[in-house]
Amino acid sequence: MSIHKLTLSGVQKIREHLQQSLVLPDLENRPRRIDIDPDEDIPEPDSLDALGDLFRAATVPEEVLSAPNTNGRWFLSSVNPGAGLNRVPGLNLKPDYRLVPYLLRTIDRGIGQVWAVPESESSTAELETVLEQAGLTRQNPPRPAHALEHPLLAVEGDRSPTSYVIASIFCRELKEFGALGEDSNWLHHRLVAAIPPQVKWNWKVEPPKDLAPKVKVFEDGRAAVDFYSCRVTPPISLVRHLDQYPAEHYTPQSVDRVIATAIR
């Protein structure tokens, strides 16, 4: 087994890059009424990229696609969550897959759901057909046919220590994708490499001596990522994140454990 330490600044840069690639257009993040000219001839989008062009033009014909709304109905997002992986080292999306996001919005809250779908089955028409299924709720999001159980099953890499850290951060960013208001959690966490001294802590475990991000790589191909974050809004807490990766893929078994809480 080998242990690799990473710099906090390096991991923070990875997170910032991934967050920037997952920014939602305002029309989807906080939908509003869009007035459509009934005489305007608008071509039907045949891909998520074309769908994004319509959103950016702020023209959302109801008969062509499921419009963003604040009524608690799921709709298809134009964002490509896999785009950010194209510019990070050691990790990338498999060429025959696409990450497909759906969003649900109410007035002051929101959630998202990202699936990995074969590229051959990711046309806008196919992805929007799922929205017609009965029984869609916050707990039962739309799921395209042949979507993988976990989006990171569509990810491949060079098995380097950095690739595992990217996978761990990306996994959490995808889980939080589209979250608004009370549905946000990871958004309030800041990565740390030392115990924040400005807070008096109530420890639930023995205080760790080393909070630097680490990757353990085992001889049989397995790996483990260990890092810490501080939730900076109430309930203020210190959290240890431990991800274990099998040798076959980049889908982790994750444990996020609160190890200390702020004393009021």
- pLDDT of residue 220 exceeding 80, the answer is yes
Q: How confident is the model at residue 67 (pLDDT cuts 50, 70, 90)?
A: confident
Q: How confident is the model at residue 259 (pLDDT cuts 50, 70, 90)?
A: very high
Task: Please give the Cα distance from 226 to 105 (Å, whole number).
Answer: 33
Q: Are 94 and 155 in contact (CB under 8 A)?
A: yes
Stated length of the chain: 264
Give the pLDDT confidence score for residue 61 in this predicted structure: 46
Sign of the torsion angle spanned by Cα atoms 77, 83, 88, 91:
positive
- pLDDT of residue 53 exceeding 70, the answer is no
C-alpha distances in Å from residue 253, one per residue of 107, 138, 230, 241: 34, 24, 21, 11
Q: Are 31 and 70 in contact (CB under 8 A)?
A: yes
Extract the tokens encoding 49. 């990229």
Q: Does the N-terminal peptide bond of residue 235 adopt cis geometry, omega within 30 degrees of 0?
A: yes
Extract the tokens encoding 117. 């779908």
Q: What would the pLDDT profile of 109-164 be if each residue is shown by its tens digit? A: 999 999 999 999 989 999 999 999 889 999 999 999 999 999 999 999 999 999 99
Give the pLDDT confidence score for residue 43 in this predicted structure: 56
Task: Please give the Cα distance from 165 to 88 (Å, whole number).
Answer: 11
Q: Tell which wins on pLDDT, 59 or 155.
A: 155
Provide mean pLDDT across the span 94-121: 96
Provide mean pLDDT across the span 186-197: 97
Give the pLDDT confidence score for residue 6 in this predicted structure: 95
Q: Are 223 and 159 in contact (CB under 8 A)?
A: yes
Cα 69-72-78 angle, rounded to 5 deg: 45
Give the pLDDT confidence score for residue 134 in this predicted structure: 84
Q: Which residue has the tokens 């080292």?
A: 89
Q: How confident is the model at residue 258 (pLDDT cuts 50, 70, 90)?
A: very high
Average pLDDT, the chain: 89
- Lowest-confidence range among 7-16, 55-64, 162-171? 55-64
Provide mean pLDDT across the span 35-61: 51
Q: Are 48 and 8 in contact (CB under 8 A)?
A: no
What are the boundaries of each domain within the chain?
2-262
- pLDDT of residue 60 exceeding 50, the answer is no
Provide mean pLDDT across the span 165-175: 97
Q: Which residues contact 43 (CB under 8 A, 6 or more apart)?
A: 50
pTM of the full structure: 0.86
Provide mean pLDDT across the span 160-175: 97
Q: Are 152 and 167 in contact (CB under 8 A)?
A: yes
